[in-house]
Amino acid sequence: MTFDSEELSVKLYNTEKQEARIVDLKEYVIGAVASSMPPEFPKEALKAQAICCRTLVVKRMGIFGGSGCKRQPGFDVCTDSIHCQGFMDIDERQKIWANRYEEFAQKIQAAEEETSETIMVYNSNPIEAVYHEACGGCTEDSENVWGNKVSYLRRVECIYCKDSPYWNNIKSFSIRELKRRLAINFDDNLTDKKEIPGLLSGVESTTSGRIKKIRIGDMVFDGEDVRSLLGFSSTRFTWKVSGVSFQVMGLGNGLGLCQYGARGMALLGFPVDEILKFYFTGVELKQMDKPTHSKPLIGKTIVLDPGHGGDSGSSGPMGLSEGYVNLEIARAVAEGIIQCGGKVILTRDKNEFVSLAERVRISNENRPDITISIQQNIFADEQMGGTESFYYPGDIEGKKISEHIHRELLAVLMLKDLGVKQADLFVLRETNNPSVMINVAFLSNPEEERFLSEPEFRQKAAKAIINGIEAYYHD
């Protein structure tokens, strides 16, 4: 069962820029690999990383039945590497890779293409495909990090990351520095002695050798707290008590794929499937399933109302007719809705005048689930521009639909956000079903008129409206 994965798009929330974006899955995987693994790594390691990144996002994507990013409702993933998964966009890649851009871009693109549509599953479900920089000798059981036992996140001994810069780091502190950093009490007079009895005791560690609990001075710490207070790269550490020097092994929490280990295995000639099966216990590699919601609008009837047909509509400064633009966008939306299994009624399908009262009558008579009126703004001031959406005061569903559509439009068209507003407009007031009015852009603004004259722009707007409708029903 194959399908074109380029048709799948990821709703991405850029945490740093506080920005919404729609990216196709292929491009998403490339940006996620770029963000999470050095591009100098060997190809089989990059392929392992590509499968991890793809599996992780597929598990979250709404279209596959995932529940999305828990922090940003309505989005599949955010770009916070601690919350969801990091993502490096093309501008950043060009900047950071500089004169090696072509080489690295080709390598990562090849890693994506050669693993295309492959994900890791356990009992046929996509797994939480986590990874960390270097385990330092042993990966970790999930319960020691998350508190719950995950069958495929089991401890494995790994010698493959021993060439990493994180295999073994010595961090030394004076007793005074240790006291300050950990805010503990301890008798300083003992500082000169070789042995410092009682400074470190009560150690509890996991079977993989990471510290769970330790008593330092007069306080008991979790391994994680020591790691963050003393700036260690992992909780896999031991110590020597003359001064105090800690030997820290690994970087990261030790869950799932050890990235430097994947590098080591790739250099030894292991193929991608053996690398992944080494770190993820009992998983299988398989092709992604078809999206579970490929027909998300089955059973829905939607009235599309392209406003201002024929002579009733105005034109832009270059002569583009509003009635024509509205109809072109509405037709593209109609096509998309039908592909999603929904039923569409257009209040007009030619560029002709249909009265407002008649358009409302068509809507009410067909008892649709939603009515969407598509229009363009026209202002005397040519500078005015942007995207604006309206619903009737008190129409709660209309408000939700307009918010979803508005968000999708902003993400792809990137025009000025004029907001989602209440308005007592005839077409909204007189329809007896949830209704919205979308003003895609300003026909009176020469730049936006030029956009509206381009078929690609109208297609993008239509796709955004369809995505908004889908998101509303998925919510």
Query: Which residues in this chain contact Zn ion in the complex, by CB under 5 A?
Result: 69, 71, 78, 83-84, 135, 158, 161, 258, 261
Tell me the closest approach of the beta carbon of residue 70 to Zn ion, in angstroms.
Answer: 6
Considering beta carbons, is residue 158 or 437 the nearer one to Zn ion? 158
The token duo for 139 is 């990966």
Give DSSP secondary structure letters for 339-377: HTT-EEEES-SSSS---HHHHHHHHHHH--SEEEEEEEE
**Considering Cα of 465, then 466, then 472, then 474, what sign does the dihedral take?**
negative
Cα–Cα distances in angstroms (integers) from residue 444 to residues 321, 322, 369, in the given order: 11, 10, 32
Tell me the closest approach of the beta carbon of residue 412 to Zn ion, in angstroms.
Answer: 21
Tell me the closest approach of the beta carbon of residue 134 to Zn ion, in angstroms.
Answer: 5
Rounded CA-CA distance 19/12 in Å is 8
- For residue 262, what is the enclosing H or E element? helix 259-267
Q: How many residues in total does the chain contain? A: 475
DSSP state for residue 241 in the 8-state scheme = T
Rounded CA-CA distance 128/57 in Å is 9
Tell me the closest approach of the beta carbon of residue 56 to Zn ion, in angstroms.
Answer: 11
Tell me the closest approach of the beta carbon of residue 84 to Zn ion, in angstroms.
Answer: 3
Considering beta carbons, is residue 259 or 433 the nearer one to Zn ion? 259
Q: How far is CA 88 from the centre of its chain?
A: 12
Task: Please answer whether residues 120 and 251 qualify as being in contact, where contact means their C-beta atoms are separated by less than 8 angstroms.
Answer: no
Task: For the sheet with 77-78, list strands across it.
Answer: 19-24, 9-14, 77-78
Considering beta carbons, is residue 161 or 334 the nearer one to Zn ion? 161
93 three-state secondary structure: helix
Considering beta carbons, is residue 69 or 427 the nearer one to Zn ion? 69
DSSP state for residue 452 in the 8-state scheme = H
Tell me the closest approach of the beta carbon of residue 258 to Zn ion, in angstroms.
Answer: 3
Tell me the closest approach of the beta carbon of residue 102 to Zn ion, in angstroms.
Answer: 31
Considering beta carbons, is residue 158 or 327 the nearer one to Zn ion? 158
Considering beta carbons, is residue 119 or 258 the nearer one to Zn ion? 258
DSSP state for residue 127 in the 8-state scheme = P
Rounded CA-CA distance 206/331 in Å is 61
Residue type present at position 330 = A
Helices (H) then strands (E): counts for the chain: 14, 20
Tell me the closest approach of the beta carbon of residue 40 to Zn ion, in angstroms.
Answer: 18
Task: Please answer whether residues 51 and 118 qualify as being in contact, where contact means their C-beta atoms are separated by less than 8 angstroms.
Answer: yes
Rounded CA-CA distance 354/347 in Å is 8
Tell me the closest approach of the beta carbon of residue 156 to Zn ion, in angstroms.
Answer: 9
Considering beta carbons, is residue 75 or 246 the nearer one to Zn ion? 75
Considering beta carbons, is residue 261 or 336 the nearer one to Zn ion? 261
Tell me the closest approach of the beta carbon of residue 424 to Zn ion, in angstroms.
Answer: 38
The structure tokens 């209440």 sit at 422
Task: Please answer whether residues 418 and 387 qualify as being in contact, where contact means their C-beta atoms are separated by less than 8 angstroms.
Answer: yes
Considering beta carbons, is residue 69 or 211 the nearer one to Zn ion? 69
Rounded CA-CA distance 401/469 in Å is 7
Considering beta carbons, is residue 158 or 255 the nearer one to Zn ion? 158
Task: Please answer whether residues 24 and 8 qualify as being in contact, where contact means their C-beta atoms are separated by less than 8 angstroms.
Answer: yes
